[in-house]
Amino acid sequence: MTPRPLEPDPGHAGEGKSRRAPCPLPPRSADPPEEEFPLLRFQELTKRYGTATVFDGFSLDVDDGRFVALLGPSGCGKSTLFNVLTGLVPADGGALFWRGRPCPDLTGRVAYMQQRDLLLPWLSLEENVLLPRLAAGSVTDEDRRLAASLLRSVGLGDRSASRPGQVSGGMRQRAALARTVMTGHDLFLLDEPLSALDAVTRLDLQDLLLDVHLSHRKTTVMITHDVEEALRLADEIVLLSAAPMTVVERLVLDEARPRPVEKPRWAALKGRLLASLRREVRR
């Protein structure tokens, strides 16, 4: 399905300025660019559990550097799609392509941030951020400097020695985001990472996610049930059907971010998206 662009607001010429200093990042992966291909392609992907079909013939392209929000009913298959991508479960049919090359999954190529922070309680926040390097076999002095810099960038420079149980839920999610960045991978998969937070903390973390994306152009695919969150942050919104999951509509949003979702234009689009979601839930 070809994305349908929305006309940009003439009052906004480009992306909004970040409110924080850019988070430092490790070097990008060594894969050569393949400009003629999207970064990621789902082609006729199928997954079943027994007699239940989660998706059948699911197709979607994700271009390099984009922020794509997946918006769909609960239980439609969004998290299963991420599990297939990360190799946690196999697909039953179809294909995945990474920079134009077929691959069974994207193990080792993506950073996956889930609803729970999944920090190890016996490690400090700094040690948790360093876990991707520990998993790779060693931690260098440069890695430690980078971890400390990342923690400062997410507002935790003075809490690096604290353990997860000693900080708030919002702080833990900030540390989890720093750990996600520490992987150095080109693609971030975010599965409702902010859903358990209070409203104010959630807005702050949305801004922080956007800072990381805009500063470093990491391709980001985020599952969310929050229409306003999708409208504030995403380049594209992919509206998904109830299971078996298909693409109902794909919108390209060109105005600067974070978007003022209280303005009439975005409030009207929010209403339309919510109406579409309600139709899918009742289908």
Give the pLDDT band of residue 154 (cuts 50, 70, 90).
Answer: confident
Contact 153, 146 (CB under 8 A): no
pLDDT at 209 over 70: yes
Mean pLDDT for 20-25 is: 47
- From the number of C-beta atoms within 10 Å of its C-beta (0-12, 13-18, 19+), residue 254 rates as exposed
pLDDT at 22 over 80: no
Mean pLDDT for 129-141 is: 88
* pLDDT tens-digit series, residues 28-41: 555 545 457 899 99
* pLDDT tens-digit series, residues 74-99: 999 999 999 999 999 999 999 999 99
For CA atoms 167, 171, 176, 182, the dihedral sign is negative
More confident residue, 6 or 190: 190
pLDDT at 23 over 50: no
pLDDT at 219 over 50: yes
